[in-house]
């Protein structure tokens, strides 16, 4: 099985301008596909911008809304799967969501952030209640979560136990939490023996300052691809063969003793 070349779009796009952000996504998809990538991961809330306090209700759309249709058209045009963050409307509730669309424009998975970060998110969004959302892509089992979710070891372990090979994490990591991108994400990949594609926003936006440092972390605990602090598109390979060898050498999941961990829940 060949590696799945995975591209990470590090960009904050244009605040509040969905049409402009779709153009950025389209351009990034074209560049990523030209490198042979089969998957492009964009940041948390990429379609609208993150700092949309007061505009959340206006900008939120259903998972199958006009913006999702536009993303599907981009995916099909360039023959690349796309994962992206957006505010999702479902009835009266709004979720901080991430969606994965396949290279044939099929909606493969939709995830709602389960751990909301800070006053802004807790004010405007409803927390999701499905910790593990998965799809099959390029011969890998792909999972979704969003930013703060990956900082909870239980969340990533749940994915590992469910067989996730590549965990996609659209992100809006802020200053001064650079340690998450530099250290926590590679450790999560190592301790759970999977790949993590961590795609961050960058630069100032409203009251927030995003730090970049997007990464594709491998099961060996290294960053197989790493962005700096500015606008950037980086690519790396999620290699099933490396994953197989690493899991054989690091049998954490097989060696667990769950009966000892009852106090954790």
Between helices 66-78 and 18-34, what is the axis angle to 10°?
Answer: 20
Tokens (6 digits) for 188: 């999560």
Catalytic, 113? Answer yes
- Which position among 88, 113, 121, 205 bears the catalytic label? 113
Asked whether the CA dihedral 52, 54, 56, 59 is positive or negative, the reply is: negative
Q: In Å, how far from its chain's centre is CA 259?
A: 32
- Which position among 44, 61, 88, 205 bears the catalytic label? 44
Tokens (6 digits) for 74: 């981009």
Catalytic, 44? Answer yes
Rounded Cα distance, 214 and 169, in Å: 10
Q: DSSP per residue over 42-83, as a string?
A: --TTTTT-S--TTTHHHH-B-TTSHHHHHHHHHHHHHT-EEE
- Which position among 61, 88, 147, 205 bears the catalytic label? 147
Catalytic, 147? Answer yes
Rounded Cα distance, 189 and 63, in Å: 28
Q: In Å, how far from its chain's centre is CA 60?
A: 19
Beta strands in the chain (DSSP E): 4-10, 39-41, 81-90, 93-101, 107-112, 134-137, 140-144, 166-170, 195-199, 202-205, 208-211, 215-217, 223-226, 232-238
> Catalytic residues, which ones?
44, 113, 147
């Amino acid at each position: 099985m060949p590696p799945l070349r995975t591209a990470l779009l590090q960009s904050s796009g244009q605040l509040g301008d969905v049409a402009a952000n779709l153009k950025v996504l389209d351009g990034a998809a074209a560049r990523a596909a030209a490198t042979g990538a089969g998957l492009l991961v964009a940041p948390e809330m990429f379609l609208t911008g993150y700092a949309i306090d007061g505009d959340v209700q206006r900008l939120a759309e259903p998972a199958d809304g006009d913006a999702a249709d536009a993303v599907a058209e981009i995916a099909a045009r360039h023959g690349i799967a796309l994962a992206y963050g957006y505010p999702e409307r479902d009835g009266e509730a709004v979720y901080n969501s991430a969606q994965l669309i396949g290279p044939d424009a099929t909606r493969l998975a939709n995830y709602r952030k389960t751990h909301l970060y800070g006053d802004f998110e807790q004010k405007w969004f409803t927390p999701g209640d499905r910790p593990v959302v998965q799809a099959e892509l390029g011969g890998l089992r792909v999972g979704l979560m969003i930013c703060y979710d990956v900082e909870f070891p239980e969340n990533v372990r749940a994915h590992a136990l469910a067989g996730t090979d590549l965990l996609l994490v659209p992100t809006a990591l802020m200053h001064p939490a650079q340690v998450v991108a530099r250290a926590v994400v590679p450790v999560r990949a190592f301790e759970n023996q999977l790949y993590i594609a961590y795609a961050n926003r960058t630069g100032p936006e409203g009251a927030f300052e995003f730090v970049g440092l997007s990464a594709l972390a491998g099961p060996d605990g290294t960053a197989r691809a790493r962005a700096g602090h500015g606008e950037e598109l980086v690519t790396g390979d999620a290699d099933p063969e490396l994953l197989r060898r690493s899991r054989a050498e690091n049998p954490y999941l097989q060696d667990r003793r769950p009966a000892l961990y009852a106090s954790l829940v």
